[in-house]
Amino acid sequence: MFHYSFNRLRSSVEHRVWSSLYSRRDFRTPCHIVVFESDDWGSIRMPSIQVLNELKEKGCSFSEEIGYDKFDTLATEEDLKKLIDALCLVKDNNGNYAKITLNCVMSNPDFTKIKADNFQNYHYELFTDTLAKQPKCKNSFNLWLEGIKLGVFVPQFHGREHLNVQLWMRLLQDFDENTRKAFDKGVFSMLLNNNLSIQKHVLSAYNISQENEKQFLVDSIQDGLNIFEKIFGFKSKSMIAPCYTWDFDVERISNQSGVLFIQGTRVQNHSVLCHSNSSFHYLGERNCLGQTYLIRNCVFEPSSTKKSNMYSCLSQIENAFNHQNPAIVSVHRQNFIGSLNEQNRENNLIQFQNLLKNIVNKYPDVIFMSSDELGEFISNNTIS
Protein backbone atom coordinates (compact mmCIF):
# COMPACT_ATOMS: atom_id res chain seq x y z
CA MET A 1 0.00 0.00 0.00
CA PHE A 2 2.84 2.37 0.90
CA HIS A 3 4.60 1.53 -2.37
CA TYR A 4 1.42 2.27 -4.37
CA SER A 5 0.84 5.59 -2.57
CA PHE A 6 4.46 6.63 -3.04
CA ASN A 7 4.32 5.90 -6.77
CA ARG A 8 1.14 7.94 -7.13
CA LEU A 9 2.75 10.85 -5.26
CA ARG A 10 5.90 10.64 -7.37
CA SER A 11 3.83 10.52 -10.56
CA SER A 12 1.82 13.58 -9.46
CA VAL A 13 4.98 15.55 -8.69
CA GLU A 14 6.56 14.59 -12.01
CA HIS A 15 3.36 15.59 -13.82
CA ARG A 16 3.40 19.05 -12.23
CA VAL A 17 7.08 19.59 -12.95
CA TRP A 18 6.83 18.59 -16.61
CA SER A 19 3.60 20.56 -17.09
CA SER A 20 5.26 23.66 -15.67
CA LEU A 21 8.31 23.26 -17.91
CA TYR A 22 6.23 22.74 -21.04
CA SER A 23 3.87 25.64 -20.27
CA ARG A 24 6.82 28.03 -20.57
CA ARG A 25 7.02 27.21 -24.26
CA ASP A 26 3.34 27.85 -25.01
CA PHE A 27 2.47 30.07 -27.96
CA ARG A 28 2.00 33.68 -26.87
CA THR A 29 -0.04 36.53 -28.32
CA PRO A 30 -1.30 39.87 -26.97
CA CYS A 31 -4.71 39.08 -28.49
CA HIS A 32 -7.44 37.98 -26.09
CA ILE A 33 -8.59 34.79 -27.84
CA VAL A 34 -11.17 32.41 -26.37
CA VAL A 35 -11.86 28.94 -27.80
CA PHE A 36 -14.55 26.59 -26.48
CA GLU A 37 -13.83 22.94 -27.27
CA SER A 38 -16.73 20.56 -26.68
CA ASP A 39 -16.38 16.79 -27.14
CA ASP A 40 -18.76 13.85 -27.71
CA TRP A 41 -21.35 15.36 -30.07
CA GLY A 42 -23.16 12.59 -31.96
CA SER A 43 -22.44 9.79 -29.49
CA ILE A 44 -25.53 8.13 -28.03
CA ARG A 45 -23.98 7.46 -24.56
CA MET A 46 -26.85 6.83 -22.08
CA PRO A 47 -30.33 6.39 -23.63
CA SER A 48 -32.27 7.14 -20.42
CA ILE A 49 -32.04 7.32 -16.63
CA GLN A 50 -34.31 4.27 -16.50
CA VAL A 51 -31.77 2.26 -18.48
CA LEU A 52 -28.94 3.51 -16.25
CA ASN A 53 -30.78 2.45 -13.10
CA GLU A 54 -31.73 -0.95 -14.54
CA LEU A 55 -28.13 -1.69 -15.52
CA LYS A 56 -26.82 -0.58 -12.13
CA GLU A 57 -29.26 -2.99 -10.47
CA LYS A 58 -27.84 -5.73 -12.69
CA GLY A 59 -24.29 -5.02 -11.50
CA CYS A 60 -22.93 -2.76 -14.25
CA SER A 61 -20.74 0.18 -13.24
CA PHE A 62 -20.68 3.63 -14.86
CA SER A 63 -18.84 6.94 -14.57
CA GLU A 64 -21.55 8.74 -12.63
CA GLU A 65 -18.95 10.35 -10.38
CA ILE A 66 -17.87 12.61 -13.24
CA GLY A 67 -21.33 13.00 -14.68
CA TYR A 68 -21.19 11.46 -18.12
CA ASP A 69 -23.46 8.44 -17.75
CA LYS A 70 -25.76 10.45 -15.50
CA PHE A 71 -26.20 13.45 -17.80
CA ASP A 72 -24.82 12.75 -21.27
CA THR A 73 -26.91 11.62 -24.23
CA LEU A 74 -27.89 12.86 -27.68
CA ALA A 75 -28.67 16.58 -27.81
CA THR A 76 -32.38 17.14 -28.32
CA GLU A 77 -33.93 19.96 -30.32
CA GLU A 78 -34.57 21.83 -27.05
CA ASP A 79 -30.96 21.38 -25.92
CA LEU A 80 -29.65 22.79 -29.19
CA LYS A 81 -32.09 25.72 -29.38
CA LYS A 82 -31.15 26.83 -25.89
CA LEU A 83 -27.43 26.51 -26.55
CA ILE A 84 -27.70 28.52 -29.78
CA ASP A 85 -29.65 31.21 -27.93
CA ALA A 86 -26.95 31.37 -25.23
CA LEU A 87 -24.14 31.74 -27.78
CA CYS A 88 -26.04 34.49 -29.61
CA LEU A 89 -26.29 36.60 -26.45
CA VAL A 90 -22.85 38.12 -26.94
CA LYS A 91 -20.54 39.26 -29.74
CA ASP A 92 -16.79 39.63 -29.82
CA ASN A 93 -14.59 42.48 -31.00
CA ASN A 94 -15.18 41.47 -34.62
CA GLY A 95 -18.96 41.41 -34.26
CA ASN A 96 -19.17 37.60 -34.24
CA TYR A 97 -21.25 35.54 -31.84
CA ALA A 98 -19.56 33.26 -29.33
CA LYS A 99 -18.84 29.88 -30.91
CA ILE A 100 -18.20 26.31 -29.84
CA THR A 101 -16.06 23.72 -31.57
CA LEU A 102 -18.31 20.66 -31.70
CA ASN A 103 -15.98 17.67 -31.70
CA CYS A 104 -18.12 15.07 -33.42
CA VAL A 105 -18.39 11.31 -33.31
CA MET A 106 -19.56 10.25 -36.75
CA SER A 107 -21.31 6.99 -35.86
CA ASN A 108 -22.72 4.72 -33.20
CA PRO A 109 -22.84 0.93 -33.06
CA ASP A 110 -25.76 -0.60 -34.94
CA PHE A 111 -26.89 -2.86 -32.11
CA THR A 112 -29.57 -4.59 -34.20
CA LYS A 113 -27.19 -5.62 -37.00
CA ILE A 114 -24.43 -6.70 -34.60
CA LYS A 115 -26.84 -8.98 -32.75
CA ALA A 116 -28.31 -10.33 -36.00
CA ASP A 117 -24.75 -11.14 -37.06
CA ASN A 118 -24.32 -13.15 -33.84
CA PHE A 119 -21.69 -10.66 -32.59
CA GLN A 120 -19.21 -11.85 -35.24
CA ASN A 121 -18.77 -8.51 -37.02
CA TYR A 122 -19.04 -4.85 -36.12
CA HIS A 123 -21.67 -2.68 -37.77
CA TYR A 124 -22.30 1.03 -37.31
CA GLU A 125 -24.87 3.65 -38.22
CA LEU A 126 -24.22 7.34 -38.92
CA PHE A 127 -24.96 9.66 -36.01
CA THR A 128 -27.50 11.47 -38.20
CA ASP A 129 -29.43 8.19 -38.46
CA THR A 130 -29.19 7.73 -34.68
CA LEU A 131 -30.64 11.22 -34.21
CA ALA A 132 -33.49 10.54 -36.65
CA LYS A 133 -34.60 7.51 -34.59
CA GLN A 134 -35.10 9.54 -31.41
CA PRO A 135 -38.46 11.39 -31.09
CA LYS A 136 -36.90 14.48 -29.46
CA CYS A 137 -33.98 14.57 -31.91
CA LYS A 138 -35.70 14.26 -35.29
CA ASN A 139 -34.91 17.90 -36.16
CA SER A 140 -31.66 18.07 -34.22
CA PHE A 141 -29.33 17.88 -37.21
CA ASN A 142 -31.15 20.75 -38.91
CA LEU A 143 -30.39 22.77 -35.78
CA TRP A 144 -26.73 21.75 -36.09
CA LEU A 145 -26.82 23.19 -39.60
CA GLU A 146 -28.55 26.34 -38.37
CA GLY A 147 -25.84 26.77 -35.74
CA ILE A 148 -23.15 26.32 -38.38
CA LYS A 149 -24.80 28.94 -40.59
CA LEU A 150 -24.92 31.38 -37.66
CA GLY A 151 -21.27 30.72 -36.95
CA VAL A 152 -21.86 29.49 -33.40
CA PHE A 153 -21.20 25.78 -34.15
CA VAL A 154 -17.98 24.64 -35.81
CA PRO A 155 -17.85 20.83 -36.18
CA GLN A 156 -14.48 19.07 -36.00
CA PHE A 157 -13.49 15.39 -35.85
CA HIS A 158 -13.55 13.34 -32.63
CA GLY A 159 -13.58 9.86 -34.16
CA ARG A 160 -15.71 7.55 -36.23
CA GLU A 161 -17.02 6.19 -32.93
CA HIS A 162 -16.24 6.95 -29.29
CA LEU A 163 -15.56 3.29 -28.66
CA ASN A 164 -12.69 0.83 -28.63
CA VAL A 165 -14.51 -1.40 -31.11
CA GLN A 166 -12.03 -4.28 -31.09
CA LEU A 167 -11.97 -4.54 -27.30
CA TRP A 168 -15.77 -4.21 -27.11
CA MET A 169 -16.36 -6.89 -29.73
CA ARG A 170 -13.99 -9.28 -27.94
CA LEU A 171 -15.92 -8.75 -24.72
CA LEU A 172 -19.21 -9.42 -26.53
CA GLN A 173 -17.87 -12.53 -28.25
CA ASP A 174 -16.46 -13.82 -24.96
CA PHE A 175 -19.94 -13.44 -23.40
CA ASP A 176 -18.70 -10.89 -20.85
CA GLU A 177 -21.75 -10.64 -18.60
CA ASN A 178 -21.89 -6.89 -17.97
CA THR A 179 -20.98 -6.01 -21.54
CA ARG A 180 -23.84 -8.16 -22.84
CA LYS A 181 -26.27 -6.69 -20.30
CA ALA A 182 -25.36 -3.17 -21.38
CA PHE A 183 -25.53 -4.12 -25.06
CA ASP A 184 -29.10 -5.38 -24.65
CA LYS A 185 -30.05 -1.88 -23.48
CA GLY A 186 -28.19 -0.10 -26.31
CA VAL A 187 -25.29 0.97 -24.08
CA PHE A 188 -21.52 0.57 -24.51
CA SER A 189 -20.12 2.96 -21.90
CA MET A 190 -19.89 0.62 -18.91
CA LEU A 191 -16.69 0.61 -16.87
CA LEU A 192 -14.29 -2.30 -16.99
CA ASN A 193 -13.49 -3.73 -13.55
CA ASN A 194 -14.80 -0.54 -11.91
CA ASN A 195 -11.70 1.21 -13.27
CA LEU A 196 -12.13 4.93 -13.97
CA SER A 197 -8.80 5.18 -15.79
CA ILE A 198 -9.63 6.72 -19.16
CA GLN A 199 -6.78 4.81 -20.77
CA LYS A 200 -8.38 1.48 -19.81
CA HIS A 201 -11.96 2.49 -20.55
CA VAL A 202 -13.84 0.82 -23.41
CA LEU A 203 -14.52 4.35 -24.71
CA SER A 204 -10.80 4.86 -25.41
CA ALA A 205 -11.12 4.29 -29.16
CA TYR A 206 -7.42 4.32 -30.11
CA ASN A 207 -6.06 2.39 -27.15
CA ILE A 208 -4.94 -0.63 -29.13
CA SER A 209 -3.10 -3.47 -27.40
CA GLN A 210 -1.98 -5.67 -30.29
CA GLU A 211 -0.07 -5.04 -33.51
CA ASN A 212 -2.82 -6.64 -35.59
CA GLU A 213 -5.31 -4.01 -34.36
CA LYS A 214 -3.55 -1.21 -36.25
CA GLN A 215 -5.30 -1.78 -39.56
CA PHE A 216 -8.75 -1.40 -38.03
CA LEU A 217 -7.58 1.86 -36.45
CA VAL A 218 -6.26 3.11 -39.81
CA ASP A 219 -9.50 2.21 -41.58
CA SER A 220 -11.75 3.74 -38.91
CA ILE A 221 -9.94 7.09 -38.92
CA GLN A 222 -9.84 7.34 -42.70
CA ASP A 223 -13.48 6.26 -42.95
CA GLY A 224 -14.53 8.64 -40.18
CA LEU A 225 -12.82 11.65 -41.77
CA ASN A 226 -14.42 10.79 -45.14
CA ILE A 227 -17.84 10.59 -43.48
CA PHE A 228 -17.19 13.94 -41.80
CA GLU A 229 -16.49 15.59 -45.16
CA LYS A 230 -19.55 14.03 -46.79
CA ILE A 231 -21.88 15.13 -43.98
CA PHE A 232 -20.57 18.66 -43.43
CA GLY A 233 -19.19 19.48 -46.86
CA PHE A 234 -15.66 20.35 -45.71
CA LYS A 235 -12.63 18.58 -44.27
CA SER A 236 -11.92 18.63 -40.56
CA LYS A 237 -8.68 20.52 -40.00
CA SER A 238 -8.41 19.46 -36.36
CA MET A 239 -9.22 16.41 -34.28
CA ILE A 240 -9.17 15.20 -30.70
CA ALA A 241 -8.67 11.56 -29.74
CA PRO A 242 -11.32 9.99 -27.47
CA CYS A 243 -10.09 9.91 -23.87
CA TYR A 244 -6.95 11.85 -24.88
CA THR A 245 -5.32 8.52 -25.81
CA TRP A 246 -3.43 8.08 -29.09
CA ASP A 247 -0.11 7.15 -30.65
CA PHE A 248 1.86 8.60 -33.55
CA ASP A 249 0.02 6.37 -36.04
CA VAL A 250 -3.16 8.34 -35.34
CA GLU A 251 -1.39 11.59 -36.21
CA ARG A 252 0.10 10.08 -39.37
CA ILE A 253 -3.21 8.68 -40.61
CA SER A 254 -5.18 11.83 -39.85
CA ASN A 255 -2.50 14.00 -41.47
CA GLN A 256 -2.93 12.08 -44.72
CA SER A 257 -6.60 13.12 -44.67
CA GLY A 258 -5.92 16.81 -44.03
CA VAL A 259 -5.85 17.13 -40.23
CA LEU A 260 -3.43 19.95 -39.37
CA PHE A 261 -4.14 20.51 -35.68
CA ILE A 262 -4.27 18.10 -32.74
CA GLN A 263 -6.50 19.15 -29.84
CA GLY A 264 -5.73 17.83 -26.38
CA THR A 265 -4.58 18.52 -22.87
CA ARG A 266 -1.02 18.98 -21.67
CA VAL A 267 -0.67 15.21 -21.34
CA GLN A 268 -1.05 12.68 -24.16
CA ASN A 269 -1.90 9.15 -23.01
CA HIS A 270 -0.40 6.37 -25.12
CA SER A 271 -1.93 3.03 -26.03
CA VAL A 272 -1.16 -0.23 -24.24
CA LEU A 273 0.76 -1.33 -27.35
CA CYS A 274 3.07 1.69 -27.12
CA HIS A 275 4.43 0.57 -23.72
CA SER A 276 4.78 4.23 -22.66
CA ASN A 277 2.40 5.95 -20.28
CA SER A 278 2.35 9.51 -21.56
CA SER A 279 3.96 12.46 -23.37
CA PHE A 280 3.76 16.18 -22.70
CA HIS A 281 3.03 18.95 -25.20
CA TYR A 282 2.99 22.73 -25.35
CA LEU A 283 0.61 25.01 -27.22
CA GLY A 284 1.94 25.64 -30.72
CA GLU A 285 4.31 22.66 -30.68
CA ARG A 286 4.64 20.93 -34.05
CA ASN A 287 5.23 17.25 -34.65
CA CYS A 288 7.43 15.86 -37.43
CA LEU A 289 4.45 15.96 -39.82
CA GLY A 290 3.93 19.68 -39.25
CA GLN A 291 0.74 19.23 -37.22
CA THR A 292 0.26 21.75 -34.40
CA TYR A 293 -0.82 20.83 -30.87
CA LEU A 294 -3.61 22.85 -29.24
CA ILE A 295 -3.55 22.58 -25.45
CA ARG A 296 -6.61 23.11 -23.25
CA ASN A 297 -5.78 25.42 -20.34
CA CYS A 298 -9.23 26.29 -18.97
CA VAL A 299 -12.14 24.15 -17.81
CA PHE A 300 -15.89 24.74 -17.59
CA GLU A 301 -17.30 21.35 -16.60
CA PRO A 302 -19.95 21.91 -13.89
CA SER A 303 -21.60 18.57 -14.71
CA SER A 304 -18.40 16.83 -13.62
CA THR A 305 -17.66 18.85 -10.50
CA LYS A 306 -19.16 21.93 -8.89
CA LYS A 307 -15.65 23.36 -8.55
CA SER A 308 -15.39 23.59 -12.33
CA ASN A 309 -17.78 26.52 -12.51
CA MET A 310 -18.02 29.97 -14.06
CA TYR A 311 -15.81 31.58 -11.42
CA SER A 312 -12.96 29.09 -11.69
CA CYS A 313 -13.14 29.26 -15.49
CA LEU A 314 -12.97 33.05 -15.47
CA SER A 315 -9.94 32.85 -13.20
CA GLN A 316 -8.26 30.40 -15.58
CA ILE A 317 -9.02 32.63 -18.56
CA GLU A 318 -7.50 35.58 -16.71
CA ASN A 319 -4.42 33.52 -15.93
CA ALA A 320 -4.07 32.50 -19.59
CA PHE A 321 -4.33 36.12 -20.72
CA ASN A 322 -1.85 37.26 -18.07
CA HIS A 323 0.65 34.84 -19.65
CA GLN A 324 -0.35 36.05 -23.14
CA ASN A 325 -1.83 32.65 -24.03
CA PRO A 326 -5.12 32.02 -25.83
CA ALA A 327 -7.76 30.62 -23.47
CA ILE A 328 -8.82 27.15 -24.67
CA VAL A 329 -11.80 26.00 -22.61
CA SER A 330 -12.81 22.36 -22.17
CA VAL A 331 -16.62 22.11 -22.01
CA HIS A 332 -18.08 18.68 -22.83
CA ARG A 333 -21.50 18.14 -24.38
CA GLN A 334 -22.93 16.77 -21.13
CA ASN A 335 -23.01 20.29 -19.66
CA PHE A 336 -25.70 21.33 -22.14
CA ILE A 337 -27.92 18.23 -22.02
CA GLY A 338 -31.26 18.25 -20.24
CA SER A 339 -33.20 15.17 -21.35
CA LEU A 340 -31.75 12.97 -18.58
CA ASN A 341 -31.84 15.76 -16.01
CA GLU A 342 -33.41 19.04 -17.06
CA GLN A 343 -31.93 20.93 -14.11
CA ASN A 344 -28.46 19.96 -15.31
CA ARG A 345 -28.94 21.92 -18.52
CA GLU A 346 -30.76 24.86 -16.96
CA ASN A 347 -28.21 25.42 -14.18
CA ASN A 348 -25.24 25.08 -16.50
CA LEU A 349 -26.70 27.34 -19.20
CA ILE A 350 -27.20 30.12 -16.65
CA GLN A 351 -23.56 29.79 -15.64
CA PHE A 352 -22.44 29.61 -19.27
CA GLN A 353 -24.39 32.72 -20.21
CA ASN A 354 -22.87 34.58 -17.28
CA LEU A 355 -19.43 33.32 -18.28
CA LEU A 356 -19.87 34.72 -21.79
CA LYS A 357 -21.16 38.05 -20.50
CA ASN A 358 -18.28 38.37 -18.05
CA ILE A 359 -15.75 37.61 -20.78
CA VAL A 360 -16.98 40.31 -23.16
CA ASN A 361 -17.42 42.83 -20.33
CA LYS A 362 -13.94 42.29 -18.90
CA TYR A 363 -12.24 41.87 -22.27
CA PRO A 364 -14.15 43.97 -24.85
CA ASP A 365 -11.41 43.20 -27.39
CA VAL A 366 -11.98 39.45 -27.05
CA ILE A 367 -11.98 37.31 -30.19
CA PHE A 368 -13.98 34.06 -30.22
CA MET A 369 -12.35 31.40 -32.38
CA SER A 370 -12.91 27.76 -33.22
CA SER A 371 -10.09 25.24 -32.81
CA ASP A 372 -9.18 25.23 -36.51
CA GLU A 373 -9.20 29.03 -36.60
CA LEU A 374 -6.84 29.17 -33.63
CA GLY A 375 -4.60 26.61 -35.33
CA GLU A 376 -4.43 28.80 -38.43
CA PHE A 377 -3.76 31.88 -36.27
CA ILE A 378 -0.86 30.15 -34.52
CA SER A 379 0.56 28.90 -37.83
CA ASN A 380 0.40 32.39 -39.31
CA ASN A 381 1.99 34.03 -36.26
CA THR A 382 4.79 31.59 -35.48
CA ILE A 383 8.33 32.11 -36.66
CA SER A 384 9.56 28.83 -38.17
Is residue 214 assigned to a domain? yes
pLDDT band at residue 22, thresholds of 50, 70 and 90? confident
Domain range for residue 19?
A: 2-49+63-169+194-380
Q: Provide the CATH number for the domain around residue 307.
A: 3.20.20.370
Instruction: Report the pLDDT value the prediction gives residue 116, as an integer from 0 to 100.
Output: 98
pLDDT of residue 276: 77
In a domain, 177, yes or no: no
High-pLDDT (> 90) share of the chain, %: 87
Percentage of residues in the chain having pLDDT higher than 70: 92
Residue 131 has a pLDDT of: 97
Residue 180 lies in a domain: no
Q: Is residue 215 one of the residues assigned to a domain?
A: yes
How many structural domains is the chain composed of?
A: 1
326: in domain: yes
Sorting pLDDT into bands at 50, 70 and 90, what band is 7? very low
- Which residue did the predictor score with more confidence, 340 or 382? 340
- The reply to whether 9 falls in a domain is yes
- 252 or 17, greater pLDDT: 252
At 192 the pLDDT is: 83
Summarised one tens digit per residue, pLDDT across range 256-265 is 999 999 999 9
Spatial separation of the C-alpha atoms in residues 316 and 245, rounded to whole Å: 24
The pLDDT score that the predictor gives to residue 21 is 75
DSSP assignment of 91-113 equals: B-TTSPBP-EEEEEE-EEE-HHH
* Domain-embedded: residue 24: yes
Helix, strand, coil shares of the chain, percent, nearest 5, are 45, 15, 40
Instruction: State the pLDDT at residue 1.
Output: 47
Q: How confident is the model at residue 196 (pLDDT cuts 50, 70, 90)?
A: very low
Q: Write the pLDDT tens digit of every residue in 346-372.
A: 999 999 999 999 999 999 999 999 999
* Mean of the per-residue pLDDT values of the chain: 93
Q: Is residue 242 part of a domain?
A: yes
Angle of helix 177-184 relative to helix 165-173, nearest 10 degrees, comes to: 100
Q: What is the pTM of this model?
A: 0.94
Task: Please state, in angstroms and as integers, the Cα–Cα distance from residue 370 to each residue in 189, 263, 278, 326, 376, following that order.
Answer: 28, 11, 26, 12, 10
Is pLDDT above 80 for 13? Answer: no
pLDDT at 293 over 50: yes
CA 103 to mean position of chain CA atoms: 6
What pLDDT sits at residue 14? 59
